[in-house]
Structure 1
Amino acid sequence: MSEQKLVLSDPATGKQCELPVRKGTHGPAVADIGSLYREHAMFTYDPGFVSTASCRSDITYIDGNQGILLYRGYPIEQLAEKSNFIEVAYLLLYGELPTQTQLDTFNHSIRYHTMIHESLRDFFRGFHYDAHPMAMLTGVVGSLSAFYNAAQDTRNKDDQEIFAHRMIAKIPTIAACAYKHSIGQPFVYPRNDLDYASNLLHMLFAVPAETYEVDPVAAQALDMLFILHADHEQNASTSTVRLAGSSGTNPYAAISAGVACLWGPAHGGANEAVLNMLEQIGDVKQIPQYIAKAKDKNDAFRLMGFGHRVYKNYDPRATVIRGMCHKILQRLGKENDPLFELALELEQIALNDEYFKEKKLYPNVDFYSGIIYKALGLPTNMFTVMFAIARTVGWVAHWIEMTNDPEQRIGRPRQIYTGAAQRDYLDPAQRD
């Protein structure tokens, strides 16, 4: 069977261009434009790379029209219901679900890499008391390259694995330290006897003066959120990690670049924007007024946490987390809290209003995750930090995949130059 090709014709010259077509396991075929500039002196123009496949990947598949999200082929709904975050992390890193022995070994490795170097205490003290936790996270994650510089520029599989385990294990500790610094409390050391989510909750909320008991439902909610946020294909922050990593930089520096990208309100800050919106609405009685504003094309107000750039149907992650959101609110006695009452009323209107159903503006994962984080007692400036903890697994998996891809080259996007034409320098006295 002959190779499928996409044939393009230049109407000005009549010259034809044949582009090989590649097909993946799922999703649309792609035209391989690797020879386009070399043979035809042309680039493609695709702002934001929204129609460009920048790499091959076996990790995650999304079908936005059908509302499908697969990790290594497994539906997100099945993993969220039956698995746990550490098992999902293993799946994303190694490509297969682990045996019990493999899972135990991996879990042990993660638990025993959770501590960070004691000198990082001084690093945290260097941040102003009101520094944003994401600013601290970006800086401290990048600093790990100074402690583990032996991992730089390596393609050694063992070194890659050590980096992966260290990064996944230490990111909750770093995040908790950023939070403790921001509220003026002493750092709490990790506990190897606790699971991943419970350990994080303990480091966030325990204090030396008294015993802290982790709520198992809170840990379960956090574990589920981490599964749902672990990876999401070639999003902005993952693409940033790949682009930074393509230069051969230290992998911890590449992850730091991903953290910085995630900080943007258009990306990881969406769940924080949800809570800001709810506070802006203020009261259940104000909902009709803000619904009308959202429907008005001439009004700048937008409902945050509804609809999704990728999912043109219901966000499959929102389907999973909705039940947990209601469970955690009931568990913590938050159903009658004015803010959460407002959120639940807004949810019901969006699910039943014809305008929202027609536009497919369903509540997305950011809507529910923001509510859960708030119910757990986290301030809004920590929401993106929690997102970063979960997404670190995906970043690490993509970095490893990119590093071992024989087709991988240093990233070098092109452009259409629209500046001044070539001109000659004139001395100041000669300029008009």
Structure 2
Amino acid sequence: MYKDEESSKIKRDNELVLTDKTSGVSWILPTPLKTDGKVQAQPTTNTQSLTVLDNRTNKLYEIPITNNTISALKFKEIRADPLPGSREEDESGKGLKVFDPAYQNTAVCYSKITYINGDTGALRYRGYPIEQLAEKSTYLEVAYLLIYGELPSKQQYAYFSHEIMHHTFVHFNVSELMRKFNYDAHPMGMFISGISAMSTFHPDANPALAGSDLYIRDERIRNKQIYRLLGKTPTLAAIAYRHRIGR
């Protein structure tokens, strides 16, 4: 069952060693057991990996498990010739794809910023429970925590607040743009449009114009954009609200 045209099989006591002749990669498994006529592999000593047997090709693949996840890209290595009459769109020769509608069981990133568990109602920012932050911290303190990874000291908070308060002014053309919306326009649509419009006033801080790595290589510009956004968003929200109520 384990042998195919590209693999060789070598026995060592109670182990089964599979070596792929093309890549030179080897897999070591305990000797398979037969249960009800079916071949099953015994548990391996490597508990942080997933061993996959492709029944189409009889090839074995070992996929590392990290933080209780496996890489979906590893499944691209599992390939087989397309079956007669199969759809071209299936792209069997390009490896398996993971089908997960609505991302019900897919982790899209590794975050050190937030943890959300809807089942238990848990929400943590940088390890702090949201209840604790809501009770004991200000909006700007939480913003500092999310951005820089720790709550600010008294001196850091004073500087941070000072810089943000000096960037609350919104250009007249931006406010005029927002006032052009229909009287019953949704405030969120107006707000997002205002944010987009602001990007046209600072070409030096636009990665599309100044380089995609701008915020990585220039800490000064990155921080200034943070001050601008945090300072101007309340002003934009106020403009949208006033427009909505007819003022």
TM over 0.5: yes
Matched, 1:32 2:61: no
Aligned-partner SS, 2:64: strand
1:267-306 alignment, distance < 5 Å: none
User: 1:17: which partner in 2?
Assistant: 61
User: 2:49: which partner in 1?
Assistant: 5
1:258-337 alignment, distance < 5 Å: none
Aligned partner of 2:125 among 39, 62, 71: 71
Q: Distance in 2 between matches of 1:50 and 1:112?
A: 43
Question: How big is the shift at 1:13?
Answer: 2.5
Q: Distance in 1 between matches of 2:230 and 2:236?
A: 11
1:190-269 alignment, distance < 5 Å: none
Aligned-partner SS, 1:177: helix
Q: Distance in 1 between matches of 2:190 and 2:237?
A: 8
User: 1:85: which partner in 2?
Assistant: 139
Matched, 1:49 2:103: yes
Aligned partner of 1:158 among 220, 228, 240: 220
Q: Which runs of 5+ in 1 are unaligned?
A: 24-28, 186-432
Bigger strand fraction = 2
Q: Distance in 2 between matches of 1:69 and 1:4?
A: 28
Aligned-partner SS, 2:169: coil
8 Å CA contact retained: 2:52, 2:62: yes
Q: Distance in 1 between matches of 2:175 and 2:135?
A: 38
Bigger helix fraction = 1
Aligned-partner SS, 2:109: coil
Question: How big is the shift at 1:63?
Answer: 2.9
Aligned-partner SS, 1:163: helix
Aligned partner of 2:235 among 173, 183, 191: 173
Q: Closer, same or farther in 2 for the Cα pair 1:38/1:147, shift >3 Å? A: farther
Q: Distance in 1 between matches of 2:120 and 2:175?
A: 47
User: 2:165: which partner in 1?
Assistant: 111
8 Å CA contact retained: 1:19, 1:33: no
Q: Distance in 2 between matches of 1:34 and 1:161?
A: 35
How many equivalent residue pairs?
180
Q: Closer, same or farther in 2 for the Cα pair 1:38/1:162, shift >3 Å? A: farther
Identity of aligned residues (%): 41
Q: Closer, same or farther in 2 for the Cα pair 1:61/1:122, shift >3 Å? A: same
User: 1:288: which partner in 2?
Assistant: none
Report the TM-score when normalising by structure 2: 0.67
Question: How big is the shift at 1:114?
Answer: 0.9
8 Å CA contact retained: 1:3, 1:20: no
Kindly report the root-mean-square deviation, in angstroms, between the aligned alpha carbons of the 2 structures: 2.0
Question: How big is the shift at 1:2?
Answer: 6.1
Question: How big is the shift at 1:184?
Answer: 2.4
Aligned-partner SS, 2:161: helix
Matched, 1:134 2:188: yes
Question: How big is the shift at 1:36?
Answer: 2.3
The amino acid of 1:158's aligned partner reads R
Q: Closer, same or farther in 2 for the Cα pair 1:126/1:63, shift >3 Å? A: closer
Matched, 1:183 2:245: yes
Question: How big is the shift at 1:38?
Answer: 4.4
Q: Closer, same or farther in 2 for the Cα pair 1:129/1:108, shift >3 Å? A: same
Alpha-carbon displacement from aligned partner over 1:380-419 (angstroms, at most 9, x marks no partner): xxxxxxxxxxxxxxxxxxxxxxxxxxxxxxxxxxxxxxxx
Question: How big is the shift at 1:100?
Answer: 0.5
Q: Distance in 2 between matches of 1:85 and 1:169?
A: 12
Aligned partner of 2:154 among 100, 103, 117: 100
Question: How big is the shift at 1:58?
Answer: 0.8
Q: Closer, same or farther in 2 for the Cα pair 1:62/1:124, shift >3 Å? A: closer
8 Å CA contact retained: 2:194, 2:236: yes
* Larger Rg, first or second structure (1 or 2): 2
8 Å CA contact retained: 2:54, 2:78: no
Structure of greater relative contact order (alpha carbons < 8 Å, 6+ residues apart): 1
Q: Distance in 1 between matches of 2:237 and 2:178?
A: 11
Alpha-carbon displacement from aligned partner over 1:124-162 (angstroms, at most 9, x marks no partner): 232122212122112111111111222222222222221
Aligned-partner SS, 2:152: coil
Q: Distance in 1 between matches of 2:194 and 2:52?
A: 49
